[in-house]
Structure 1
């Protein structure tokens, strides 16, 4: 019998609790994530468990952040319906949980596009940020067909400056992605970024690309042209 078949939710919660690092929790809490588990160790548990949809649902139901992150690593993304994913996102208050849900599950689900459209204008900024993240992903992967890019830039220009943090970040990413991937819209994307100055002073480590849209656009375009 494999180790995966004998792991219960209670056992996994105890294992995750044993991995709690107070210093890591303090760092994570500054970003809104209430857990102190090293993500490499969390991924190692997921690798051991492999894919287990029933267990993933049980872990999600615990409402524990580390357990939910583990749940997202062992679930089957295609087995959720749109309503479930919508409910899961609205229950994802920890930024890392919402981020992993969108990137590891929603993007692989057949309902991703319907959810993207529904979430874009949601009154909850966390939900709206997920819609913008999915939009940025479509642009980045060359699937902009059907997207009204000038209208997206209009919305970004009008709303990004005063948007709440996570929504602002996602809108800024979409702005940068449009500027990078669409030369015909690059000048306007650069202009919007320069005028709004969103994330202009964001602390960026050496050798990393600034999230300030004009810097981001110019750097990635330079790299592409250098290839």
Structure 2
């Protein structure tokens, strides 16, 4: 399938209700409003296709950029490719759910995520924290430095309330992910969540929400999810 054919198929799947929802979250025109599940039949036909993914991502169309993340081939992507992708990611649904997810499938994910977290740029920072969430939820504990993750929890505790909204959200997710998916630091993450308390987050045009990460962690523990690892990063 070529770029034109894929764009036509995506446009045909667009729904006005979803388009409005994506735009309320921060998407900008052009947007078709395609449900992520509706993309799967096209993805099955294409499988992985990095050249086509690059063409789709370069369109600036939100749905095409998202679909690029579905069919891209992260192991053959370079750090420079990811810098280019994060530069073009203009809101959190691209930075955290396309770029960060794809980055998590590379062998240099932690190095790039560390650099982005320290960048001072909102979407790079949120992508960096989100990448760690995808990594921790998929890879074995032995692949991570316990002392480094402990230091990152302290960083979250000390900076979350002064951080931009998308970064707050990603940091919140980081606390919860460490608590559930990195068992050696479960107790420290639980204590960090208590210290952080309630976090007010506003994304796009939506109303502010208040997150209680302690409650979220407890619910996951009650569900028997402690130690959870997903088989794949991308579904």
* 1:88 equivalent in alignment to 2:82: no
The residue aligned with 2:126 is 129
In the superposition, relative to structure 1, how do residues 10 and 127 fare at CA in structure 2: closer, same or farther (>3 Å)?
same
Q: CA deviation at 1:147?
A: 4.1
| Number of matched pairs | 209
The answer (yes or no) to whether the contact 1:65–1:94 under 8 Å persists in 2 is no
Aligned equivalents of 1:70, 1:114: Cα separation in 2: 25
Aligned equivalents of 2:119, 2:106: Cα separation in 1: 20
The residue aligned with 1:193 is 196
Q: CA deviation at 1:123?
A: 1.6
TM-score (norm 1): 0.81
Unaligned runs of 5+ in 1: 1-6, 201-209
The residue aligned with 2:99 is 101
| Correspondence list, 1:26-37, <5 A | 26-34=20-28, 35=31, 36-37=33-34
TM-score (norm 2): 0.78
Q: Deviations over 1:74-112 (max 9, x none)?
A: 121111101111220121114322212211x21111221
The residue aligned with 1:177 is 177
The answer (yes or no) to whether the contact 1:53–1:75 under 8 Å persists in 2 is yes
* 1:165 equivalent in alignment to 2:141: no
What's the C-alpha RMSD, in Å, of the aligned pairs?
A: 2.5
Q: CA deviation at 1:186?
A: 4.4
Aligned equivalents of 2:134, 2:37: Cα separation in 1: 25
* 1:66 equivalent in alignment to 2:94: no
In the superposition, relative to structure 1, how do residues 221 and 129 fare at CA in structure 2: closer, same or farther (>3 Å)?
same
Unaligned runs of 5+ in 2: 202-209, 228-235
Q: Could you say which structure has the greater relative contact order, defined with CA pairs below 8 angstroms and 6 or more residues apart?
A: 2
In the superposition, relative to structure 1, how do residues 94 and 214 fare at CA in structure 2: closer, same or farther (>3 Å)?
same
* 1:218 equivalent in alignment to 2:218: yes
Aligned to 1:198, what secondary structure does the other structure show?
A: strand
Q: CA deviation at 1:225?
A: 8.4
The structure that has the greater radius of gyration is: 1
